[in-house]
Chain A
């Protein structure tokens, strides 16, 4: 590992939460405007974060922190692998582990709300995981490599060869970012029958770290979207921002659905659409 790589990794680890937090702030502002509200200042997520850090530590059992750290550290790991242009499939596996860590944490508590939240989160994982893996396969079929560096060496933007995979990726992004209609594991909005679902029993520093991980995840996924138009990368970033706006829009115009509906649509529509694209990649 060269000095250069370490430098890139450090910059990414510092920059990602800042960007993620800002995006979340913008999200809240836009959402508020869509609902005809004033909305909090853009820096509000950071104020919340520092407030949470300063709170007294309260927990339900002694092991919760272990899982929260697992959730955070593996997300950071995936981010570092992304900026160092490592194997895309491995990144997906590490991201899955990050998710599993939180699920384990939530279900380690004998609380009905966090348990059901955890179960639902497993359902969503089951729904989006195949699509993520299929996306990786699509990338391989287009570039001949699983390494992200391969995408940057590739001449044509991926979006041209993988339009449908891109669509189904956007579809599962809604699940991954826990936006409506798929926000049944835990929700940013206060209209949940499950209290705060997955994160009901986390508070103070632990909740702050979960927020932090969400920001990193957000940046990571924006990065993955940008890969579809990696040359020049600013076009990719622009596309990512547009997609994020779309997610916010969908969040605000749709109502929450059941997990059965989600698994069904993702497996049929998400996997189906991605497969169609991949099948034609096999044929040409």
Chain B
């Protein structure tokens, strides 16, 4: 039973990928994607049941020696193919840095894995270990991933229609999406660091292929940028593998996680940990490595939703959270927290100045990943719980929001926030879902706010980190508030449009919004069942604890006394319901009581929208309303360079510190 699950989680998406590539028929593709979606849901469910029933909270897959040997060599073979392909891409597009970084990875890899120059390679016997953190990632990958793929069915058809392609490139597109899902599933399940590296590199390559999918000049340019920046992470990763192997005598990720214990490091391990964090930073697009994620926005929307918000970037934070017990309480942990907090604050600030919807989402993604990394660096039980919870909430909400912006873009032909005024009349269904999605990123009772709350309360012992989180969370409110204000702008019109969406898009949006609601309302059970066992399983010395009781959450300190928390999230839900229900039932306005807005001059016509007014010179003027973007203060070009320099300095400090540890 267990083995079937493991194989279907990894090989089934791979099989679907092949099928999608071979079968060019649209109907057949719909069938393949739908069936794969259902099977992946079942796989996720199977893992949940299996893990909840397992006595020691983890499922371990042992390989006997001969199988291990064979699988290892297969993976090495694929590694080689991967290197060659990446080098080929570099040469084909004449991008020297891609080739150089590829060679820089290939040489240590070959010396280490193939020729054994750095001593024996200790491959762990327990090749796949699934604990609660892995389970949560599997749930994100195997539930949100397929939903987004399903959405892509409708979206890509429309997309190619806009591009006027003669030969559909969808088979290739869906193939890469499925390969990616397969690699992600394997990445979060494996306990072998060098295998993880292989899957890590697959996601890097997939992201290049998907970003450059449309084949335009800018798409290829941005794809290559993603490729080389992630390759920097790859180089850090391969060196970390070698160091881990020599200092711990194993490549087991579990062993790394349990190795640190308050600075009692062995050998070169601190350097390895530092390098792994940097690899995580590149994949999670932390400052100064953020530019690839921003460039990735040229890709079709499902790509942004899948790779660059809900799953692939989560691989980076997954790695950092996974190894965080090793550096919890050390100076490295503090630096990681500062680096994450810095990204959180700066990315939120830049998001204020953006009027491109997708870019706002991208910066918000970077910011939230920064917060996750920051929480992982703080390294208390509460902060790690916050990190894991935020990973869940962010993946669901952001996946949803990207799909919403994609839908809006196809509906109104623009992704500029200013063009979304009055959207409620044009696309009521999408608008309601979008607004709930945005509210879920910033307001009670939704999970993202609750994790921010936990992050602040647990960061109190690290003043600098705390200040960064506080500034970041104040800035977050600004850009979401502005955007929601624009989307909800409406003037009176008697008739609503009825929106026409394809079934796949409508179904995907509805499913995700339901997940957003369930995850937030059920935050207490979610924490108790999935997050708490993982936090307890981590080897942390900190004795503070987070308790989910009834419908509230309480934070306890060392002496088990309550120092923070709130009694009930039901309260917030009640208020939200009331504020919609009361006007709806008790206060239905008659159209005669509706007036056009005041324009400080005569309104030019009887039009209820108040689009024109008569100015003092008796001229008719248009009314233009726009948001503030404060380019002069928060502009991208104003802040990026400075932020990159500071973040780069923090990365260098991390490197310097780990070498000295």
Contact = CB atoms under 8 A, between A and B. Distances in A.
A241 interface: no
B53 interface: no
A60 B470 contact: no
A212 to B, nearest CB: 15
Given A110-B490, A112-B623, A146 B597 contact: no
Given A87-B566, A110-B597, A134-B470, A119 B628 contact: yes
A59 B481 CA distance: 22
Q: Which of A103, A104, A110, A200 has the most CB of B within 10 A?
A: A110
A279 B598 CA distance: 49
Contacts of B485: 103-104, 106-108, 115, 118
Given A57-B589, A100-B443, A119-B628, A201 B488 contact: no
A114 B489 CA distance: 11
B463 A70 contact: no
A60 B492 contact: yes
Contacts of A56: 593
Contacts of B565: 87, 146-147
Interface in A177-218: 195, 200-201
A69 B597 contact: no
Interface stretch (A14-22, A89-97, A225-233, A242-250): A89-97
Interface in B260-293: none
A144 B564 CA distance: 10
A86 to B, nearest CB: 6
B477 interface: yes
A122 B478 contact: yes
Interface in A57-92: 57-63, 65-67, 69-70, 73-74, 77, 81, 86-87, 89-90
B589 to A, nearest CB: 5
A275 B467 contact: yes
A145 B563 CA distance: 4
Contact of B563 (A108, A114, A144): A144
Nearest to A140: B460
A111 B443 contact: no
A147 B597 contact: no
Contacts of A115: 485, 625, 627
A141 to B, nearest CB: 7
Interface stretch (B59-67, B310-318, B396-404, B577-585): B577-585
A224 interface: no
A57 B587 contact: yes
Contacts of A81: 566
B610 interface: yes
Interface stretch (B98-106, B356-364, B449-457, B514-522): B449-457
A264 to B, nearest CB: 9
A278 B463 contact: yes
A52 interface: no
Contacts of A66: 579-580, 583
A279 B463 CA distance: 8
B453 A113 contact: no
B571 A77 contact: yes
Given A93-B449, A104-B485, A111 B478 contact: no
B593 A69 contact: no
A110 B489 contact: yes
A146 B600 contact: no
B627 A93 contact: no
Interface string A249-284: 000000000001000000000000001001100100
A137 interface: yes
A90 B583 contact: no
B597 A201 contact: yes
Interface residues of A, number: 67
A147 B562 contact: yes
A125 interface: yes
Given A97-B443, A146-B457, A195-B598, A110 B422 contact: yes
Contacts of A93: 444, 449, 453
B597 A109 contact: yes
Nearest to B587: A65
Nearest to B488: A108
A145 B555 CA distance: 10
B539 interface: no
Given A60-B597, A89-B564, A69 B491 contact: no
A266 to B, nearest CB: 11
A80 to B, nearest CB: 9
A230 B625 CA distance: 47
Interface string A114-149: 110011001101100110011011001100111100
A150 interface: yes
A163 to B, nearest CB: 18
B579 A70 contact: yes
B379 to A, nearest CB: 18
B424 to A, nearest CB: 8
A89 B470 contact: no
Q: Which of B422, B460, B474, B594 has the most CB of A within 10 A?
A: B474
Q: Which of A104, A134, A144 has the most CB of B within 10 A?
A: A104
B583 A65 contact: yes
Interface in B458-485: 460, 463, 466-467, 470-471, 473-475, 477-478, 481-482, 484-485
Nearest to B442: A100
Contact of A59 (B579, B593, B627, B628): B593
B491 A122 contact: no
A282 B463 contact: yes
A87 B594 CA distance: 41
Contacts of A150: 563
Interface string B247-258: 000000000000
25 contacts: A57-B587, A60-B594, A66-B579, A66-B580, A66-B583, A67-B579, A70-B579, A73-B578, A86-B566, A97-B444, A104-B488, A107-B482, A107-B486, A108-B488, A115-B625, A123-B628, A130-B474, A137-B466, A141-B460, A145-B561, A146-B565, A147-B564, A147-B565, A201-B597, A260-B633
3 A-B pairs with least C-beta separation: A107-B485, A111-B597, A146-B564
Given A69-B579, A111-B599, A146-B565, 12 more contacts: A77-B571, A100-B481, A110-B609, A126-B475, A129-B473, A137-B460, A140-B563, A145-B561, A145-B563, A146-B555, A146-B564, A275-B467
Interface of B: 421-422, 442-444, 449, 453, 456-457, 460, 463, 466-467, 470-471, 473-475, 477-478, 481-482, 484-486, 488-492, 555, 557, 561-567, 571-572, 575-576, 578-580, 582-583, 587, 589, 593-600, 609-610, 623-625, 627-628, 633
